[in-house]
Structure 1
Amino acid sequence: MNNKIIGIVLVVAGVALALWGYNIYDSASAQIGRALNGDTPIEAWAGMVGGAISVLVGLTRLK
């Protein structure tokens, strides 16, 4: 039972983290930065990748 609760928390937190990273990636300042010098904010990558990893670990805990 404890693993299922941890899994659910990880999935929910991972989805929230991935959405936060995408919001940063899609923000106006990030779009201007990508247009001018091609850089993507590291916070966006960290949020999206960290969220995906958290969701995957959470899904393995649910099984």
Structure 2
Amino acid sequence: MNNKIIGITLIIVGVAVAIWGYNIYDSASAQLTRTLNGDTPVEAWAGMIGGVIAVVIGITRIK
């Protein structure tokens, strides 16, 4: 039972962090930076990848 609660929490937090990372990636300042020098903010990648990892760990905890 405790693993399921942790899994559900990880899924919810992971989705929120992934959305946050995508919002940073899609922001106007990030788009301007990508246009000028081709760089993507590290926070965007960290949020999206970290969120996906948290969701995957959460799914494995539920099973």
Per the TM superposition, whether the score is higher than 0.5 is yes
TM-score normalized by structure 2? Answer: 1.00
Give secondary structure in 2 for the equivalent of 1:40.
Answer: coil
The aligned counterpart of 2:19 is: 19
Q: What 5-or-longer segments of structure 1 have no aligned partner?
A: none
- Give the superposed CA RMSD: 0.1
Residue correspondences, number: 63
**Structure 2 regions of 5+ residues with no counterpart?**
none
How does the TM-score come out when normalised to structure 1?
1.00
Shift of the alpha carbon at 1:50? 0.1
Please state how far the C-alpha of 1:60 moved relative to its aligned partner. 0.1
Does residue 1:2 correspond to 2:2, yes or no? yes
% same residue: 73
